Chains A and B, each alone.
Chain A
Amino acid sequence: MGKYILKRLVYLVLVFFLLTFLLFVIYQLMPANRAFTDAQTELKTYKNLTEEEKKTLFDELYLKYQRMYGTDTNNKLKLYGRWLGVVPFYDGTYKGMFTGYFGWSYEHSDEVVKVVAPHLKNSMIIGLITEIAVLGITIPLGIKQAVKKGSKFDHGVQLFSLIGFSTPSFITYIVFILLFCSILKIFPVSGMKTPGSSYTGMKNVLDVLYHVTLPTICLVFGSLAGITRVTRASMIDALSLDCVRTARAKGLNEKVVVYSHAWRNAIIPMVGIIVGGFFGIISGAMILETMFGFKGMGLLYLSSVRTADYDMIMFIQVIYTFIGLFSNLVTDLTYGIVDPRVRISK
């Protein structure tokens, strides 16, 4: 097992570097030249210059900023090395991923890591609540559907989940916003806390909870349908297994048959979804956060793309990539835990 994990980790690191290099090259394609704009801005502070002087001064400033930002070369590998922190800048310093520096956010005038941290926290809070609620609702629902296959209950839930599955999430959200904010007027439309308030302690917690409830409900409803469908399908497969028939023939209690024999088989194909879901909370919910003005990872990413804040985009994309790869690894390891057959074959 240890050897397997080690092998996978080495592979993960290799793929991580490969992917970040590809992403890095893609970002280099973007038409952004910070050194150029900064040099131009600084040039404007000098007054009473002739055209000739301006030109030489601009060239000097441009070179200065290029060296500062480490863009004084066109060698992609060298640039990537600088981003990683293994190739020195012009002045001999190392500033990159390995030294804990991921870049500077132009929009927020701060280091990207510092900007991302609170957003990540927000996304994780709402994501965790949602994930637990979703699994708590969908799994019993899917199991009941599979057990009562063909009943009215099954057909009803199936229709509901089919429509939910086919509806783009933003339509679900806007319907909920209209229902709860415009018609029933129960929840606020946007934000993380009451504007202008400075509550402390318990009151603050309650205020945040009040603002977070509707986004959470929306998020839960947006992801119910998909998982219900998968649970039902894998549970139906599991219920037709020989071991279930044998268990029934033995005269076991139906509950034991369903939850002990069938469910443990049904969970195997669902591992990917459940583990992926838990890691997915880190990525945030882009559309939901945009609609509610909820300061999470998705909103940060989207606004960075809109304002072309490249270091920020790169950093968040690196987080996303890392999560994607890491959750693959965790999924495979979890398969080993829930499915003894997989464990043996390794």
Chain B
Amino acid sequence: MANNKKEGIFSKLARWSTRTFLGQKYEQKWFGNKELGSGEITYKNGVPDDSELIVSPAKQVFQRFIARKFAVFAVLVVVFMFILVFVGPYFMPKYYDAFTESTQKDLPPTMSFMAVPKELKNDINMIDCYGAFSVGLSNAGKVYIWGVTKIGATGFDVKHIPEEVKNANIKFVAAGQDHCVAIDENGKFYGWGSNRFGQYAVTDEILKNDTLIPVPDEVLNGELDVNHIKQVSAGFQATAILMDDGTLYIWGNTQAYANLEKFVGKTNIEEVDFTLNYVVALDKKRDAVYTGYKKSDLYKYIRSSADPSERAVPASDYLGGRKIEHITATLNNICLLLDDGSLAFVGDFGRDNVDVPAAAKNEKFVSVVGGSYHYTGLTEEGNVYTFAGNHYNQDRVPKNLSSKNVTKVFAGAYQSYAVNDNDDLVGKWGLKGYLFGTDGSGANIAERVIAGGKVTMTVGAVAVIIEIIIGVSLGVLSGYFGGWVDMLIMRVCEVVASVPLIPFMLILSSLLAQSAMTTNQKLYMLMFIMGVLGWTGFARITRAQILLARESEYVTAAQSMGVKETRIAFKHILPNVFSVILVNITLAFAGSMGTETTLSYLGFGVIYPQPSWGNMLSRASNATAAINFWWQWLFTSAILILTVVCINTIGDTLRDVMDPKSSNDK
């Protein structure tokens, strides 16, 4: 019974709103003809033929408007865009304007970051990843590569694994930022990808360059005993091979890693890894992070959690006799696994950081691996935890993993993989990829489109509101009072209109850029300038409409009744010219969005890192960049064009349907 009553209320409401907004005919069409008399309803082009019916002008305009499918579609698109850009930012709490990530620069749209090949899934020996691509090695000695394998605009594609690597039985493989290295069962060394910094081969050019350390001869000549290799690790333009007697072979770009040279020829190393700017290692003493620096404080202080607010203490105090079992590094910090199974942390922690889960602190860790910012650890109980860097939600470990007998975990960049004792892949989590790719700073374009849309639309809307306030009030005054008021306002209008908009805006925004205002204040000033320079259109149109309306009978009637002049102007005439103004509001909104886009594209207006649809398109300024990094402008401009087309369509349609001369069957 209660249900019935509720339905009744709803249908009554729907009926009421249909009657109010669409008219009686629609009410009868949709809700039947219950109380309100009867009569055949005739339709013309899908709209009830209300030529016999008296409807208010607003209702008529509305009915005509919704009869046009394309216009309704345009309204939906614009509403969707508004919701997307104004509500969307609340769903991306981790987004911030100045985000940069050097390992994720210029990546095309992809969702393949975790697309482990089928052949590898049940035979995993190891997985490694540093930048945008991952490399996997099967127990059978085969190498697999997935992710974004094209290296920027360099033309290298690491997907092209050399034939000899395909035919060899590979034992070790490692992925760097733009290169891959592998060692087969005979100790033969292979490399592919970019070799600009001597990543895997030695050329005369590399020997001539003082800043590069060439690949050691032992490695190149295949003199290494593969059974005694402990670790192969690659980083940003550098590579390291560690033997189990502590001998380290390391080479690459010394400008990428400040202490790279200090590691050459070391023979007491237990484990090695790369942070953003330093090589870090564990030496035989196992009591501190070895960086090669004798007196520096670098990585000497340890804390017990990945929480930067905790005070770090000197290594010897913290360890108190315990030894470091294992070290692993992300770009800006290092995780230490101690011999009692607890974790300790060294280094800085950026934003979007999560601490080790409380539950994990009571468990003993058996292994821990670092990605670009996160760590994935495995405990004795078989539980897997991911912590530290969490910008792309790397910490979302699949729920049922603890029951799957995980024995190995791998991590790289923003991804983690869990493998069971049968070498099957049982779980993968982390960043899948980027819907629209990344920009030149490594930021996710999809997120910037939303944040940029908010800026562009806000600037457009506020500028138009300022234009309306100035333009319409001056237009009403000018049109209604005429005489010297009209003369003065129209001359001012002419002067402002004759100022060339874009050049003048360029000057003002370059003045703004030099001033010491905050980003937001600059944005307000931009809106203000756009509004103050763009009101003339509104003033002219309002004036022209007022001139027409002033001659009409209802104004004469009001005047004869002794209504105050300002009241006539704003209360009697303005509502009647509102329709024309409304059309111009939509067109001006599209126009000022265009102005903002052009300005920001030229490098004025909204300035990087604050995104706007205009400055996101700056890559589209020369043909080579535009074709190499097509995703960096194509999606943004498509969304921009779609939005502006829809806003203009709404304006055009409003103009058509409000024009009493135009007929329904257009």
Considering only residues 160-215 of chain A, those with a C-beta below 8 Å from chain B are 162-163, 165-171, 174, 177-178, 181-182, 189
Question: Chain A residues with Cβ under 8 A from B590's Cβ?
Answer: 166
Among A44-52, A94-102, A246-254, A284-292, the stretch in contact with B: A284-292
B617-656 Cβ-contact flags toward A at 8 Å (1 or 0): 1001111101100000100010011001101110010000
Question: Is A84 interfacial (CB-CB < 8 Å)?
Answer: no
With contacts A19-B499, A166-B648 taken as known, whether A181 is within 8 angstroms of B598 at the C-beta atoms is no
A293-330 Cβ-contact flags toward B at 8 Å (1 or 0): 00000000110011010000100110011011101100
**Distance A15 CA – B601 CA, assembled complex (angstroms):** 32
Question: Is A30 interfacial (CB-CB < 8 Å)?
Answer: yes
Q: Which of B506, B597, B604, B652 contacts A168 (CB 8 A)?
A: B597
Question: Is B564 interfacial (CB-CB < 8 Å)?
Answer: no
Q: Which residue of A lies closest to B625 (CB)?
A: A174
A162 and B648 within 8 A (CB) = yes
A142-167 Cβ-contact flags toward B at 8 Å (1 or 0): 00000001100000000000110111
B648 and A302 within 8 A (CB) = no
Among B180-188, B382-390, B507-515, B551-559, the stretch in contact with A: B507-515
B594 and A290 within 8 A (CB) = no
Q: Which of B500, B594, B598 contacts A283 (CB 8 A)?
A: B500
With contacts A166-B648, A169-B598 taken as known, whether A189 is within 8 angstroms of B623 at the C-beta atoms is yes
B453-491 Cβ-contact flags toward A at 8 Å (1 or 0): 000000000000000000000000000000000000001
B493 to chain A, nearest CB (A): 11
B494 and A170 within 8 A (CB) = no
With contacts A162-B645, A166-B590, A168-B601 taken as known, whether A305 is within 8 angstroms of B506 at the C-beta atoms is yes
Question: Chain B residues with Cβ under 8 A from A323's Cβ?
Answer: 500
A233 to chain B, nearest CB (A): 9
With contacts A162-B648, A166-B645, A182-B627 taken as known, whether A301 is within 8 angstroms of B622 at the C-beta atoms is no
A325 to chain B, nearest CB (A): 5
**Distance A286 CA – B666 CA, assembled complex (angstroms):** 39
Question: Is A75 interfacial (CB-CB < 8 Å)?
Answer: no
Question: Is B504 interfacial (CB-CB < 8 Å)?
Answer: yes
A29, A166, A167, A328 — most chain B CB neighbours (10 Å): A166
B649 and A162 within 8 A (CB) = yes
A167, A174, A286 — most chain B CB neighbours (10 Å): A174
Q: Which residue of A lies closest to B643 (CB)?
A: A166
A162 and B511 within 8 A (CB) = no
A181 and B623 within 8 A (CB) = yes
Question: Chain B residues with Cβ under 8 A from A182's Cβ?
Answer: 623-624, 627
B598 and A240 within 8 A (CB) = no
A324 and B503 within 8 A (CB) = no
**Distance A253 CA – B161 CA, assembled complex (angstroms):** 75
Question: Is B154 interfacial (CB-CB < 8 Å)?
Answer: no
**Distance A283 CA – B604 CA, assembled complex (angstroms):** 19
Question: Is A31 interfacial (CB-CB < 8 Å)?
Answer: yes
Q: Which residue of A lies closest to B508 (CB)?
A: A26
Question: Chain A residues with Cβ under 8 A from B640's Cβ?
Answer: 168, 171
A302 and B602 within 8 A (CB) = yes
Question: Is A132 interfacial (CB-CB < 8 Å)?
Answer: no
B633 and A290 within 8 A (CB) = no
**Distance A189 CA – B626 CA, assembled complex (angstroms):** 12
Question: Chain B residues with Cβ under 8 A from A321's Cβ?
Answer: 498-500
Question: Chain A residues with Cβ under 8 A from B604's Cβ?
Answer: 305
B72 to chain A, nearest CB (A): 16
Q: Which residue of B lies closest to A189 (CB)?
A: B623
Question: Chain A residues with Cβ under 8 A from B358's Cβ?
Answer: none
A287 and B499 within 8 A (CB) = no
**Distance A325 CA – B498 CA, assembled complex (angstroms):** 6
With contacts A171-B637, A283-B500, A291-B621 taken as known, whether A177 is within 8 angstroms of B626 at the C-beta atoms is yes
Question: Chain B residues with Cβ under 8 A from A337's Cβ?
Answer: none
Question: Chain A residues with Cβ under 8 A from B666's Cβ?
Answer: 149-150
Question: Chain B residues with Cβ under 8 A from A170's Cβ?
Answer: 598, 601, 617, 620-621
**Distance A326 CA – B504 CA, assembled complex (angstroms):** 18
With contacts A301-B503, A324-B500 taken as known, whether A31 is within 8 angstroms of B598 at the C-beta atoms is no
**Distance A166 CA – B644 CA, assembled complex (angstroms):** 5
Q: Which residue of B lies closest to A19 (CB)?
A: B495
B502, B623, B648 — most chain A CB neighbours (10 Å): B623
Question: Is A117 interfacial (CB-CB < 8 Å)?
Answer: no
Q: Which of A149, A286, A290, A328 contacts B498 (CB 8 A)?
A: A328
B598 and A168 within 8 A (CB) = yes
Q: What is the interface size of chain B, counting residues whose CB is below 8 A from a CB of the partner?
A: 45
Q: Which of B494, B614, B633 contacts A174 (CB 8 A)?
A: B633
Question: Is B6 interfacial (CB-CB < 8 Å)?
Answer: no
**Distance A302 CA – B598 CA, assembled complex (angstroms):** 13
B598, B617, B620 — most chain A CB neighbours (10 Å): B620
Question: Is B661 interfacial (CB-CB < 8 Å)?
Answer: yes
A320 and B617 within 8 A (CB) = no
A247 to chain B, nearest CB (A): 19
A305 and B648 within 8 A (CB) = no
A163 and B503 within 8 A (CB) = no
Question: Chain B residues with Cβ under 8 A from A166's Cβ?
Answer: 590, 594, 641, 644-645, 647-648
Considering only residues 126-170 of chain B, those with a C-beta below 8 Å from chain A are none
Q: Which residue of B lies closest to A29 (CB)?
A: B511
**Distance A328 CA – B498 CA, assembled complex (angstroms):** 8
A240 to chain B, nearest CB (A): 7
B457 to chain A, nearest CB (A): 15
A27 to chain B, nearest CB (A): 8
B498 and A324 within 8 A (CB) = yes
**Distance A27 CA – B514 CA, assembled complex (angstroms):** 13
**Distance A317 CA – B508 CA, assembled complex (angstroms):** 12
Q: Which residue of A lies closest to B604 (CB)?
A: A305
Question: Chain A residues with Cβ under 8 A from B508's Cβ?
Answer: 26
B641 and A163 within 8 A (CB) = yes
Question: Chain A residues with Cβ under 8 A from B645's Cβ?
Answer: 162-163, 166
**Distance A327 CA – B602 CA, assembled complex (angstroms):** 27
Q: Which of A162, A286, A291 contacts B622 (CB 8 A)?
A: A291
With contacts A166-B645, A170-B601 taken as known, whether A30 is within 8 angstroms of B511 at the C-beta atoms is yes
**Distance A290 CA – B502 CA, assembled complex (angstroms):** 14
Question: Chain B residues with Cβ under 8 A from A290's Cβ?
Answer: 602, 621
A253-271 Cβ-contact flags toward B at 8 Å (1 or 0): 0000000000000000000
With contacts A174-B626, A302-B506, A305-B507 taken as known, whether A168 is within 8 angstroms of B495 at the C-beta atoms is no
Considering only residues 30-61 of chain A, those with a C-beta below 8 Å from chain B are 30-31
A150, A168, A305, A321 — most chain B CB neighbours (10 Å): A168
With contacts A29-B511, A168-B598, A302-B506 taken as known, whether A174 is within 8 angstroms of B648 at the C-beta atoms is no
Q: Which of A18, A169, A313 contacts B507 (CB 8 A)?
A: A313
B510 to chain A, nearest CB (A): 6
Q: Which residue of A lies closest to B498 (CB)?
A: A324
**Distance A145 CA – B450 CA, assembled complex (angstroms):** 38
B507 and A177 within 8 A (CB) = no
**Distance A283 CA – B503 CA, assembled complex (angstroms):** 9
Q: Which of B494, B620, B624 contacts A171 (CB 8 A)?
A: B620
A305 and B510 within 8 A (CB) = yes
B641 and A171 within 8 A (CB) = yes
Q: Which residue of A lies closest to B506 (CB)?
A: A305
A171, A287, A306 — most chain B CB neighbours (10 Å): A171
**Distance A166 CA – B597 CA, assembled complex (angstroms):** 12
Question: Chain A residues with Cβ under 8 A from B603's Cβ?
Answer: 306
A156 to chain B, nearest CB (A): 13
Q: A27-B507, A168-B594, A189-B622 are in contact. List 10 more A-B contacts (CB 8 A).
A: A15-B495, A15-B498, A169-B598, A286-B503, A287-B598, A287-B602, A317-B504, A317-B507, A324-B497, A324-B499
CB-based closest 5 A-B pairs: A324-B498, A166-B644, A166-B645, A174-B620, A320-B500
The residues of A with any CB-CB pair to B shorter than 8 Å are: 11, 15, 18-19, 26-27, 29-31, 149-150, 162-163, 165-171, 174, 177-178, 181-182, 189, 240, 283, 286-287, 290-291, 301-302, 305-306, 308, 313, 316-317, 320-321, 323-325, 327-328
A sample of 7 cross-chain residue pairs with beta-carbon separation below 8 angstroms, ordered by A number, consists of A162-B645, A166-B594, A166-B647, A171-B620, A283-B503, A286-B602, A327-B498
